Amino acid sequence: MKLDVHCEMLLSEYHEKLPIYEKMKAVVLDLLRNCLDKNNILVSGLEARVKAEQSLAGKLELKGYKYHTLEDITDVLGARIITYYSDEVDIISALAEKMFEIDWANSVDKRKMLEIDRFGYLSLHYVCRIPETLYKDPELPQLNKIRFELQMRSTLQHVWANMYHDIGYKSNVEIPIEYQRNMTRLAGMLELADEQFCRIRKEINGYRRTVQSMVAMGKLDEVPLNGDTFRSFLSLKPFKNLADKIAAINHGEVYEDNLMPYYRILLNMNMKTIGDIVKMSKTYSESAYQLALLQLAGTGLDIVTYSVALQNLCIVAILKKGFGEAGLVSFFNALYGENDYHQQRAKRICEQARKINLI
Amino acid sequence: MKVTINQQNEKTLVVLDGRIDSTNADQFQQDIAPLMEGEKPDIDIDCTNMTYTSSQGLRVFLLLQKSVVARNGKMVLHNMNPHVKEVFDITGFSNIITII
């Protein structure tokens, strides 16, 4: 590659400033990561790179005359945020606008550059500076002067960009029109898929909110039992009273564990709605407590898990419905995996249940 | 209570011998302190000769379990005698600790 004197000077400036760009890369990544964490935004990718020497030389060879100094090249440092959904790009860009100084004259929303009958590279590029209010290193004042490029795109936009780059740029020959047409068709398909993912997510969120409000309003018979509704139901701490009562047997405490493993068990027990679980709780709560009282009184065991309440409710329901020892063994197998010990445990519980006239 | 810890390749083998109660739960916690270190622990605890645990012992097991989960590891208790297993069952600890 043959570069003129001006471009060679820019390249030598690049070598000199490389440590600053590397430091800036780490700072930008940290700032972006913290911002995403603080705003509870999950992204598919967060990356940054300092342009490689060869890549910069290639750019200078093509249009080095445009740049007076290295700092005129705004993408020597490039950062990229890849979102899961296309509508999250706007959220990220709003955060970037709050965080960084944006050089609007050089920022591009490529999503808006396309004609209505064109598809293709859809991405948002901001040229930014780190404001001193956000980060300052007295020994490196250049960190607040040098601009960098921040790309924001969805996962599918990223797929498109990568594939287009691989197929389009690597080829030494101009791509024939029929292949370009096929690429354009694919771009349109990805854009539609992006929209559909957003729509589906919105609908699912809407469904979740509806179900959560039904649970909160107590319309539990109308709420089908599924993983989502069970999780919402659990957030209301429906077994807290029983767990507290069981812990109080030895003036103890409740350790809050996760009840989600019971979801499949309750389905197996033929529970169809959240209302069915509430009915089970109301019907068998006293018996579940009596069973715990028989087991725990006098033991001095002053810590129980929250799940012990639902565990005892299920045990009582199984026994009251006449499934006996075999039912309990199936219950324990489903909950913990098969184990010979479950037979002994089921037998012991049945003996205890007889003592308190549960069966 | 006697605690023996051996490292076998990636797995940490622990043997418990005796009872854990209010008189020795603090010592038990100190004895198992080495298990609270390291990434992705794979801990196998042999309870064949563990004769009893009080709730103080359960709390130490809970601490260890939380530490193991936080480090993306796993912990299994096995060969527990029926009386000790009953303590784990009636307190609900069987729901949070893997016992085989």
CATH number, residue A54: 3.30.460.10
CATH number, residue B12: 3.30.750.24
Note whether residue A302 is domain-resident: yes
What are B51-67's pLDDT values in tens digits?
999 999 999 999 999 99
Report CB contact under 8 Å: A299, B94. no
Residues 67-96, chain B: which have Cβ within 8 Å of A? 82, 85-87, 89-96
A159, two tokens: 């797929």
pLDDT score recorded for residue A168: 66
Note whether residue A21 is domain-resident: yes
B26 touches chain A (CB under 8 A): no
Mean pLDDT over B27-48 rounds to 94
Q: In terms of domains, do A172 and A237 share one?
A: no
Å from A311 to nearest chain B CA? 8
Q: In terms of domains, do A231 and A176 share one?
A: no
Q: In terms of domains, do A131 and A277 share one?
A: no
Note whether residue A146 is domain-resident: yes
pLDDT score recorded for residue A17: 93
Beta strands (DSSP E) in chain A are: 45-50, 77-83, 101-102, 108-109, 124-129, 148-154, 253-255, 303-305
Determine how many CB atoms are found less than 10 A away from the CB of residue A250. Answer: 18
| Closest CB to B95 among A252, A307, A337 | A307
pLDDT score recorded for residue A211: 79
Note whether residue A210 is domain-resident: no
pLDDT score recorded for residue A236: 85
Q: In terms of domains, do A27 and A160 share one?
A: yes
pLDDT score recorded for residue A84: 95
Q: At CB < 8 A and 24+ separation, what contacts does B30-39 make? A: B31/B1, B31/B3, B32/B3, B32/B5, B32/B60, B32/B64, B34/B5, B35/B5, B35/B64, B35/B67, B35/B68, B36/B63, B36/B64, B36/B67, B38/B71, B39/B71, B39/B72, B39/B73
Note whether residue A239 is domain-resident: yes
Task: Give ipTM to 2 decimals.
Answer: 0.94
The C-alpha atoms of residue B5 and residue B7 are separated, in whole angstroms, by: 7
Residues in Cβ contact with B93 at an 8 Å cutoff, skipping those fewer than 6 apart: A305, B58, B61, B62, B87
Note whether residue A45 is domain-resident: yes
Query: What are the helix and strand counts (H, E) for chain A?
Result: 12, 8
Q: In terms of domains, do A10 and A134 share one?
A: yes
The C-alpha atoms of residue A98 and residue A9 are separated, in whole angstroms, by: 35
Per the structure, the complete domain to which residue B59 belongs is given by 2-99
Among A180, A212, A244, the domain boundary falls at: A180
- The label of the residue with tokens 């590279």 reads A121
Note whether residue A203 is domain-resident: no
Å from A252 to nearest chain B CA? 10
The C-alpha atoms of residue B62 and residue B16 are separated, in whole angstroms, by: 16
Q: Above pLDDT 70, what percent of chain A?
A: 94
Q: In terms of domains, do A144 and A28 share one?
A: yes
The C-alpha atoms of residue A269 and residue A311 are separated, in whole angstroms, by: 13
0.80 surpassed by pTM:
no
Residues in Cβ contact with A140 at an 8 Å cutoff, skipping those fewer than 6 apart: A20, A23
Q: In terms of domains, do A130 and A35 share one?
A: yes
Q: In terms of domains, do A112 and A53 share one?
A: yes
CA distances, A197 to each of A42, A76, A111, A206 (Å) = 16, 33, 18, 14
Contact B52/B83 with Cβ under 8 angstroms? yes
3-class DSSP assignment, residue B93 = helix
Q: Which residue of A has its CA nearest to B87?
A: A301
B97 touches chain A (CB under 8 A): no
| Chain A environment of B82 (Cβ under 8 Å) | 341, 344
Q: Which residue of A has its CA nearest to B54?
A: A301
Nearest to A241 by CA among A287, A303, A313, A309: A309
Among A180, A198, A215, the domain boundary falls at: A180
Per the structure, the complete domain to which residue A160 belongs is given by 5-180
Among A118, A153, A180, the domain boundary falls at: A180
| Closest CB to B90 among A295, A306, A337 | A295
| Closest CB to A301 among B85, B87, B100 | B87
Q: In terms of domains, do A116 and A237 share one?
A: no
Name the domain count of chain A.
Answer: 2
The secondary structure of A153-208 as a DSSP string is EEHHHHHHHHHHIIIIIT-SSPPPHHHHHHHHHHHHHHHHHHHHHHHHHHHHHHHH
**Sorting pLDDT into bands at 50, 70 and 90, what band is B87?**
very high
Report CB contact under 8 Å: A301, B59. no
pLDDT score recorded for residue A115: 55
Name the domain count of chain B.
Answer: 1
On average, the pLDDT of chain B sits at 94
What are A199-211's pLDDT values in tens digits?
999 998 888 888 7
Nearest to A324 by CA among A294, A296, A354: A354
Determine how many CB atoms are found less than 10 A away from the CB of residue A89. Answer: 23
Note whether residue A191 is domain-resident: no
Residues in Cβ contact with B95 at an 8 Å cutoff, skipping those fewer than 6 apart: A257, A261, A305, A307, A308, A311, A335
Each residue's pLDDT, cut to its tens digit, for chain A (359 residues) gives 677 888 888 899 999 999 999 999 999 999 999 999 999 999 999 999 999 999 998 888 888 888 889 999 999 999 999 999 999 999 999 999 999 999 998 887 766 665 544 555 567 899 999 999 999 999 999 999 999 999 999 999 898 888 887 776 555 567 777 777 888 888 888 989 999 999 999 998 888 888 778 877 878 888 899 998 898 889 889 999 999 999 999 999 999 999 999 999 999 999 999 999 999 999 999 999 999 999 999 999 999 999 999 999 999 999 999 999 999 999 999 999 898 889 999 999 999 999 999 88
Q: In terms of domains, do A106 and A33 share one?
A: yes
Q: In terms of domains, do A80 and A169 share one?
A: yes
Report CB contact under 8 Å: B91, A296. yes
The C-alpha atoms of residue A134 and residue A338 are separated, in whole angstroms, by: 56
